């Protein structure tokens, strides 16, 4: 691995860590309504992914859904779900609206990050 590749990898880990910090700050306000929490989470999550300009997020929690402007179903997506009650769950979907490569745009660490955010 070249020095530049190592630097790029560290920069991606820093973005992911920042995303975790931001989501933690958002979620610690137990009094905030979902209508405020979900859009803030979408922004924080988008910023943590490798290509934030292409990244779109949809969160469904209880009976509320929030999504990034321009969210569309895509073959390039990641998904995580957290069931916090026998009948209730929160689902987070990350999608890239366009991708011109045969390889996945997602880093393995991004799925780990998504799973961590979901719980």
pLDDT of residue 94: 96
pLDDT of residue 48: 95
pLDDT digits (tens, 9 = 90+) for 3-13: 999 999 999 99
Share of the chain above pLDDT 90, in %: 75
Give the mean pLDDT of 43-68.
94
Q: Residue 76: in which H helix or E strand, if any?
A: none
Only one residue has tokens 């745009």, namely 105
The separation between CA 39 and the C-alpha centre of its own chain, rounded to angstroms, equals 12
pLDDT of residue 119: 83
Alpha-carbon torsion (61, 62, 68, 74), positive or negative: positive
pLDDT of residue 44: 97
pLDDT category of residue 71 using cuts at 50, 70 and 90 = very high
Residue 116 clears pLDDT 90, i.e. is over it? yes
Cα angle 10, 116, 57 (rounded to 5 degrees) comes to 85
Give the mean pLDDT of 30-59.
95
C-alpha–C-alpha distance, residues 118 and 84, integer Å: 10
pLDDT digits (tens, 9 = 90+) for 77-112: 999 998 877 777 899 999 998 888 888 899 999 999
pLDDT of residue 63: 87
């Amino acid at each position: 691995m070249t020095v530049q590749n190592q630097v790029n990898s560290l920069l991606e880990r820093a973005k992911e860590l920042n995303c975790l910090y931001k989501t933690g700050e958002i979620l610690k306000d137990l009094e905030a309504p979902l209508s405020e929490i979900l859009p803030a989470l979408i922004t924080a999550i988008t910023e943590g992914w490798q290509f934030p300009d292409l990244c779109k997020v949809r969160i469904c929690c209880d009976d509320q859904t929030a999504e990034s402007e321009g969210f569309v179903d895509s073959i390039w997506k990641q998904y995580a779900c957290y069931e916090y009650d026998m009948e209730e769950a929160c689902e987070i979907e990350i999608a890239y609206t366009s991708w011109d490569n045969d390889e996945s745009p997602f880093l393995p660490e991004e799925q780990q990050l998504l799973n961590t955010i979901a719980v």
